Amino acid sequence: MIKVLIKNGTVVDPSQGIVDKIDLLIEGDRIKRLDYEIFEPEAQVIDASGLIVAPGFVDLHVHFRDPGQTYKEDILSGSKCAVAGGFTTVVAMPNTNPPIDSPHVARYVSAQGKCWGLCDVLPAGTITVGRKGEELSDFYALKEAGCVCFTDDGSPVQRTDIMQKALIFSSELGVPIMNHCEDDLLSQGSVTEGYLSALTGLKSRYPEAEETMIARDCVLAYRTGGHLHVQHLTTGFGVELIRFFKEKGVKVTCEVNPYHLLLDEGTMLSEGPLARVNPPLRKKEDVLALREALREGVIDCVATDHAPHAPYEKGLIDSSLPGMIGLQTALPIMLKLVEEEVISLVRMVDLMSCAPAKIIGLEVGTLKEGSPADVVIFDPKKEWVLNEETNFSKSKNTPLWGKPLKGKVIYTLKGGRIVYKENS
């Protein structure tokens, strides 16, 4: 069996409470041993001096546009971005064409991921047929075909009765229902309601579009016992609502997009359509509230919402498609929060690996002996720029394009195999 020995790095594994300079031995596709000064003459050695060794990151929210819009991204280019960003497992959103509302599309997505063999690409099934919000998908068949959760992301579920039924199925199947919480009638525009919409005259998206739907869905989770996962949370009051329902014992988890922890609505003035995303960048006080909630633990995990678009789809703010690519920028953004002492490095790894793995019940997100050898090795200090040479996406839509970043993945291992090595 092939052996890989990662030496001289600092292992950070929140699942075991480890932050220590120890070696990590991999045998085949599993973690064999974590110990001081491991000697194994047959192993291929990776020198991780000055680097952090952590369980591979898990992203619960990516758009790989495959099938249907592969000019923006496909499962191969998306997987390359993922491993370059340190992610070894991603959950592919179902707003593809056709959508992931049938077992054969779900099987296509996971089989493509397996065929390229860089990272696991786990399909999210739709909540409703065609993402139309009217008729529930066949959850049993989709789960059987490998779907790890259900969501109509991009088209929030407007009907309360549909959401109620979905959560009933969730409690029966033990699979989370994820919702992009925004009420359509209160989110017709492109910027957050307030100063920016008044200044620019652009149509707005109200924070209460998000907050009312979070409250509705939490009430439904409370009544049904289903597991609700709130996608890309953006407002301070949304945090308050989730805290309230968690304290009541409701099965609710939530994710935040790193960009919402870094940028506020003002970015729109300098970056224009590149700063357009749904839900939109919010106010400074919301960014601060999200950061506080990360530290406290009200926010469960980080998810990139990697949303590639072609340049011509990012023309004018009001007509541009929302979303930013994010798989390669997530680590530098999160490390900035560590540097600013918003969160610890251990908490960061938890948010990007252990916690998201737990939300969908995976056995990854840990370096425990016997678990899958999914490992990221990164240099928290290395400075770099996302540009034509370093970008693996087919798209370039991020306000961080060409800007200095700090923190870079040096190796990513999936099931014991090196699937990414910097500059190779």
Q: Which residues are catalytic?
A: 305
**Is residue 153 involved in binding Zn ion (CB under 5 A)?**
yes
**Is residue 323 involved in binding ligand NCD (CB under 6 A)?**
yes
User: Which residue number, 323 or 372, has a Cβ lying nearer to ligand NCD?
Assistant: 323
Tell me the three state secondary structure of residue 269.
Answer: helix
Token pair of 37 as six digits: 């000064």
Total residues belonging to the chain:
424
User: Which residue number, 279 or 407, has a Cβ lying nearer to Zn ion?
Assistant: 279
Contacts of 246 (CB under 8 A, 6+ apart): 252, 298
**Is residue 322 involved in binding ligand NCD (CB under 6 A)?**
yes
Q: Which amino acid is at 229?
A: H
**Is residue 154 involved in binding ligand NCD (CB under 6 A)?**
yes
Cβ at position 75, least distance to ligand NCD in Å:
15
Tell me if 286 sits within 8 A of 234, measured CB to CB: yes
Binding partner of residue 322 among Zn ion, ligand NCD, none, CB cut-off 5 to 8 Å per kind: ligand NCD
Distance of CA 200 to the CA centre of its chain: 31
Q: Between 245 and 264, how does the x/- string for binding to Zn ion read (CB under 5 A)?
A: --------------------
Q: Between 167 and 186, how does the x/- string for binding to Zn ion read (CB under 5 A)?
A: -------------x------
Cβ at position 269, least distance to Zn ion in Å:
23
Cα separation, 377 vs 380, whole angstroms: 10
Tell me if 186 sits within 8 A of 156, measured CB to CB: no
H or E stretch at 333: helix 330-339
Binding to ligand NCD (CB under 6 A): which residues in 240-299?
A: 277-278
Cβ at position 279, least distance to ligand NCD in Å:
8
Binding partner of residue 86 among ligand NCD, Zn ion, none, CB cut-off 5 to 8 Å per kind: none
Cα separation, 30 vs 27, whole angstroms: 6
Whole-angstrom CA distances from 231 to 35, 96, 98, 165, 299 are 38, 18, 22, 19, 11
**Is residue 210 involved in binding ligand NCD (CB under 6 A)?**
no
**Is residue 305 involved in binding ligand NCD (CB under 6 A)?**
yes
| Site residues (vs Zn ion, CB under 5 A) | 153, 180
